[in-house]
Amino acid sequence: MNSDFNEGYVMLPNNAVQNINSIEANKPSLIQLYGKRTIAYLKQLIELQNINENIYFSIDMIMWKLNIKNNIKRERIYFKEFLFALNNNSLISFYDKVNPMSLSANDFIIARLNIYDYKEDTDNKYKINYFNLQQCEYNKINYEYLNNLDKYNLLNLFCNIKSRIKKNPENISPVERQPEVSYPSYETIMKDIFIESDKTLKQYIDTLFELDLIRYNCAGDMIFKIEGSSPIRRKANFTYTLFKPQWEIELDNAISLFKSRKKLSGWEFLTKDKEISSNEKRSITQKINILEKLNSKSILTQTQKKELAKLKRQQEKWKQEYDNKVNIRDLEESKLKVNNPDKKLSEIYDDMGLEAKAKRAFEEEEEKEEKNIEDKSKPKGLQNKKLKSLPLPKIDEYEKGLDVFEDWFNINGDNNEENDNYYTDETIEKLDTF
Three-state SS annotation for 268-323: EECCHHHCCCHHHHHHHHHHHHHHHHHHHCCCCCHHHHHHHHHHHHHHHHHHHCEC
> Is residue 14 a part of any domain in this protein?
yes
pLDDT at 214: 96
> Is residue 300 a part of any domain in this protein?
no
> Is residue 17 a part of any domain in this protein?
yes
Q: Decide: helix, strand or coil at residue 208.
A: helix
Instruction: Please tell me the distance from the alpha carbon of residue 10 to that of residue 113, in angstroms, as a whole number.
Output: 13
Of 239, 236, 240, which Cα lies nearest the Cα of 265? Answer: 236
Per-10-residue mean pLDDT of the chain, 434 residues long, equals 69 89 73 93 93 91 92 94 93 90 92 73 54 94 90 96 90 87 92 88 95 93 78 86 92 92 86 61 83 82 86 72 64 81 86 77 82 70 49 49 50 46 48 46
pLDDT at 38: 95
**Residues 278, 280, 282, CA angle at the centre, nearest 5°?**
70
Q: Decide: helix, strand or coil at residue 49.
A: strand
Q: Which residues contact 165 (CB under 8 A, 6 or more apart)?
A: 131, 180, 181, 182, 240, 241, 242
Last residue within a domain, chosen from 185, 212, 239:
212
Instruction: Please tell me the distance from the alpha carbon of residue 164 to that of residue 150, in angstroms, as a whole number.
Output: 22
Strands across the sheet with 232-235, in order? 232-235, 221-224, 267-269
pLDDT at 124: 41
Running DSSP on this structure, what letter comes out for residue 182? Answer: B
> Is residue 273 a part of any domain in this protein?
no
Q: Is this structure's pTM higher than 0.75?
A: no
Number of domains in the chain: 2
pLDDT at 5: 61
Q: Decide: helix, strand or coil at residue 187.
A: helix
> Is residue 107 a part of any domain in this protein?
yes
Instruction: Please tell me the distance from the alpha carbon of residue 423 to that of residue 407, in angstroms, as a whole number.
Output: 11
CB atoms within 10 A of CB 401: 17
- Domain of residue 423 covers 389-431
Q: Is 259 exposed, middle or buried (0-12, 13-18, 19+ CB in 10 A)?
A: middle
Angle between the 278-296 and 302-320 helix axes, to the nearest 10 degrees?
A: 140
Running DSSP on this structure, what letter comes out for residue 396? Answer: G
> Is residue 301 a part of any domain in this protein?
no
pLDDT at 78: 95
Ramachandran quadrant class, 53 (left: phi over 0; alpha: psi -120 to 50; beta: rest): left
Q: Which residues contact 396 (CB under 8 A, 6 or more apart)?
A: none
> Is residue 359 a part of any domain in this protein?
no
Q: Decide: helix, strand or coil at residue 252.
A: helix
Whether the CB-CB separation of 137 and 244 falls below 8 Å is answered with no
